[in-house]
Amino acid sequence: MDRLDRKIDISQLITGILSIFIGILVLRNPRIGIIGVALFLAIATIFQGFSMIYKNYRIKENSGKGDNLYLFGGLINILFGIALLLSFKFKTISVPLIFSIWIIIESIIGIYRIFTITNSFSILTFISAVVFIIGLIAGIMLLKDSFVATMAVTYIIVLYFIVDGIKNIYLALKK
């Protein structure tokens, strides 16, 4: 197949580029702080949620059967994004809590998808499994100690954004 004939998943590509951009921006200037990261996280999470719901619709349209995990994950992302936007006054308190719950749910969904749906093993599958397991552990640790979470959440978000961005760009261009 000619490279020009391949379809690129634009929403996944945009999410990947924005994730890497914000991750590097926050890494270079940590003073942006938790409120700036929270605002971007809210917008990106809502965008990713709608993208996942749209993917569910496209899968259902093409195969006749939707992937309910995309629908569930999309709804969870939208709800967490809205929760972050609505908790603007309490961001320094709410971001670690909301982020830790969100990363735990996303990690569980990711681990489930890898071990039940993925038919082949690749380096991307292995890296994704490791990232999801680390995410699950980090989410539980963040949930247990909110003070540490407040201090560490910016760098954890940076790491998550960069890795997720690379994964999204790879998946967008893979097709």
Within a domain: 2: no
CA distance linking residue 28 with residue 2, whole number of Å: 39
Q: 127 in a domain, yes or no?
A: yes
pTM equals 0.57
Q: What percentage of the chain reaches a pLDDT higher than 70? A: 78
pLDDT in tens, 99-128: 778 788 888 888 887 777 666 677 777 877
Q: What total number of domains does the chain contain?
A: 1
Structural domain contains residue 131: yes
Evaluate whether 69 touches 112 at the Cβ level (below 8 Å): yes
Q: Quick check: is 152 in a domain?
A: yes
Residues 6+ apart with CB under 8 A from 40: 22
Domain that includes residue 129, residue range: 7-174
Which tops the pLDDT comparison, 1 or 36?
A: 36
Is position 79 within any domain? Answer: yes
Would 1 be classed as within a structural domain? no
> What does the DSSP assignment read for 98-139?
HHHHHHHHHHHHHHHHHHHT--S--HHHHHHHHHHHHHHHHH
* Domain assignment present for 20: yes
Residue 95: is its pLDDT beyond 70? no
Instruction: Give the distance from CA 68 to its chain's centroid.
Output: 17
Helix 91-116 to helix 33-63 angle, to the nearest 10 degrees?
30
24 within some domain:
yes
Instruction: List Cβ neighbours of 153 (8 Å cut-off, separation of 6 or more).
Output: 34, 37, 95, 96, 99, 142
Mean of all residue pLDDT scores within the chain: 76
